[in-house]
Amino acid sequence: MSNLPIAKAITAGLEAAMTKDDRVLLMGEDIGQLGGVFRVTEGLKAKFGASRVMDTPLAESGIIGTAIGLALNGYRPVCEIQFDGFIFPAFNQITTQLAKLTNRLEGAGNLPIVIRVPYGGHIGAVEHHQESPEAYFAHTPGLKLVSPSTANDAYWMIQQAIESNDPVMFFEPKSKYWTKGEVSLNTPTHQLHKTVVAREGEHVTVLGHGAMVHVLLQAAGLAQSEGISLEVLDLRSLSPIDYLPILRSVSKTGRLVVAQEAPGFVSIGSEIAATVTEQAFYSLDAPVLRVSGFDVPFPPAKLEKLYLPDADRVLEAVDRALAF
């Protein structure tokens, strides 16, 4: 066991993957000598050399396009998008090429590419640095999306994503980069695309991913003091979604609150609410409720606390669910 911040758990996971397989390459802006703006790739260029940890031009479309060519020639590129809002120049390459090429080639070629995306708010940054664009990509067939909330998951999930023969978008909750946790270095606890129970409960199921899991756990602690037991689920995989643990939990509690930092309209939370309503209608004692960022562009840093869901907004939804 080792105690690591999430950022350094990802670093350790990348190092382990690169040591295991010399086809694994890192690509991105300022990831080499600087070690990335969040220092996630710090020290890896010194260990593996500039041919495997490559500083790229400021051209996200070029990064992904180059990675596609490398993957088709047997490499396993890991691309870093410096900030969430910078991913849109690469949107065309990701959604029209990367997501579709395996199908277009009828399985004759694989695209084992990982795209690392630091995402979400709570860091007081400027425009294009605090967004949650995951729904754009979850909507696109051919892409897999995951997001760890703990250091242990960060360490293992980045390795599992790199080992996948499908393109995986790895959304990293940057506000939790320096949150420490125990990391088991021997064996992964869960499969990559697995929803897990982060805290057992009885009265209401609350579900989220990434940094939102920490908010839900905080809400569960506050609710417990009032005699309300929340079961906290960590989604972990945004596409595909592992629904069995969700449906099992809802059948126990009869209520579900889905929380996310992203805007609520046409979102991952919307999809989960619809699917649970379809598949577990007779288990529900209340409508599935959603807590999300507001349907406006991400505001200036001084207003982010008003925009992002917190424990109070989660508990307000819990109270509404229990009122039915």
pLDDT tens column, 74-89: 999 999 999 999 999 9
- Is 129 labeled as catalytic in the residue annotation? yes
Q: What percent of the chain has pLDDT over 70?
A: 100
pLDDT at 225: 95
| pLDDT exceeds 90 at position 126 | no
**HSE-up (13 A, CA, CB side) for residue 186:** 1
Q: Over range 200-213, report the average pLDDT.
A: 98
Which pLDDT band, with edges at 50, 70 and 90, does 296 fall under? very high
Q: Which of 6-15, 106-115, 195-204, 243-252 has the lowest mean pLDDT?
A: 106-115
Q: Where are the domain boundaries for CATH 3.40.50.920 in the chain?
A: 196-322
Which pLDDT band, with edges at 50, 70 and 90, does 112 fall under? very high
pLDDT at 189: 87
pLDDT at 128: 85
0.85 exceeded by the pTM? yes
pLDDT at 215: 98
pLDDT at 127: 84
Q: Over range 33-55, report the average pLDDT.
A: 97
Mean model confidence pLDDT for the chain: 96
> Exactly one of 122, 128, 129, 209 is catalytic; which is it?
129
Q: What percent of the chain has pLDDT over 90?
A: 93
- Quickly count: other Cβ atoms within 10 Å of residue 88's Cβ: 16
> What are the tens digits of pLDDT across the range 208-267?
999 999 999 999 999 999 999 999 999 999 999 999 999 999 999 999 999 999 999 999
pLDDT at 21: 98
| pLDDT exceeds 80 at position 1 | no
3-class SS string, the chain: CEEEEHHHHHHHHHHHHHHHCCCEEEEECCCCCCCCCCCCCCCHHHHHCCCCEEECCCCHHHHHHHHHHHHHCCCEEEEECCCHHHHHHHHHHHHHHHCCHHHHCCCCCCCCCEEEEEECCCCCCCCCCCCCCHHHHHCCCCCEEECCCCHHHHHHHHHHHHHCCCCEEEEEEHHHCCCEEEECCCCCCCCCCCCEEEECCCCEEEEECCCHHHHHHHHHHHHHCCCCCEEEEECCEEECCCCHHHHHHHHHHCCEEEEEEEECCCCHHHHHHHHHHHHCHHHCCCCCEEEEECCCCCCCHHHHHHHCCCHHHHHHHHHHHHCC
Q: Where are the domain boundaries for CATH 3.40.50.970 in the chain?
A: 2-183
| pLDDT exceeds 90 at position 125 | no
| pLDDT exceeds 90 at position 307 | yes
Is the domain 2-183 a CATH 3.40.50.970 member? yes
Which pLDDT band, with edges at 50, 70 and 90, does 108 fall under? confident
Is the domain 196-322 a CATH 1.10.540.10 member? no
Q: Over range 170-180, report the average pLDDT.
A: 97
Which pLDDT band, with edges at 50, 70 and 90, does 107 fall under? confident
